[in-house]
Amino acid sequence: MNSPINAAPDTRGYADVNGLKMYYEIDGTGDPLVFVPPAFGVAGFNPFPELLRHHSVITVDLQGHGRTADIAERPITLEYHADDVVKLLKHLGLTKVDLFGQSYGGAVATLIALHHPELVRRVATYGATFGPRDVAVDPEMLRFDTPPNPDSEAFRFQKETYKRIAPDPEYWPNFWKKIAGIQWEGFSDQELASISVPILIALGDHDFVLLDHALRIFRLLPNAELAVIPDAGHFALYSENGRVIPIVEHFLNKPETNIPIANAEIGYRPGKTR
């Protein structure tokens, strides 16, 4: 049996995007949903068959990731990633999409919602940070006893995946160093408050991302939903995505207008409140 990374999608190809030959895959039919993988993530490794019932799922290899060769002289930044995805949407002739971002892919998706709201219907995120490292993540969860390097055991999974499909497998140390060197200060409160696109903030209760950070962002965004997955960590979309995807699917597929949520004064009224 082929592993998911080798399974043939409905469509695969490369797009000329900002000097990149950007790799993408499209599975299923329906409303377009763009999945933005995490750092070191690649298209095709982690399929979400439940989402294919209502969506045409487009997955990308970001700059330097997987089959998309790096541009050595161009830094890897979240802002560049966001612009590359926007250019890919235009290449594909897509004018309105849902976005689903994992880890730093969630921040990339949110950047697109901030700067190109006309292109975005809804944004779902899992394990995303929206601010700088010192306020967004649990330092104990990201602690190393010795400084990490491209050959650290912690990155074996990502390294093996990269070497299987990258155009130049030996480029891994250079790519790792560029990812490790990313410095991102996050969104300002004003930027977050200006995003009207509905955004789902999902994370595990044992995520790298601090629950307090997720709750603060949830309160700043004017149209946000918060989902905390119990007994789950940062990699739940790899290890047990069946616990996360139904929440994402509900968020993406629910009606544009919902029955109001009951408060104590109004109470529960069948068909009137929920």
Q: Over the stretch 197-207, which tens digit does the pLDDT of each residue have?
A: 999 999 999 99
Distances (CA, A) of 179 to 23, 77, 156: 18, 8, 15
Instruction: Name the pairing type of β-strands 97-102 and 31-36.
Output: parallel
- Over residues 86-91, the mean pLDDT reads 97
Instruction: Name the pairing type of β-strands 199-204 and 224-229.
Output: parallel
The residue count of the chain comes to 274
Q: Over the stretch 128-145, which tens digit does the pLDDT of each residue have?
A: 999 999 999 999 999 999
Q: Over the stretch 253-262, which tens digit does the pLDDT of each residue have?
A: 998 888 889 9
Q: What pLDDT does residue 181 have?
A: 94
Q: Label residue 9 by pLDDT band (50, 70, 90).
A: low
Q: What pLDDT does residue 5 have?
A: 41
Q: Are 248 and 109 in contact (CB under 8 A)?
A: no
Q: Label residue 7 by pLDDT band (50, 70, 90).
A: very low
Q: Over the stretch 165-196, which tens digit does the pLDDT of each residue have?
A: 999 999 999 999 999 999 999 999 999 999 99
Which among 91, 99, 76, 86 has a CA at the least distance from the CA of 11?
Answer: 91
Q: What pLDDT does residue 1 have?
A: 28
Torsion of the alpha carbons at 30, 31, 32 and 36, rounded to the nearest 10: -100
For the chain, which domains are there? 4-253 (3.40.50.1820)
- Over residues 70-83, the mean pLDDT reads 97
pTM: 0.93
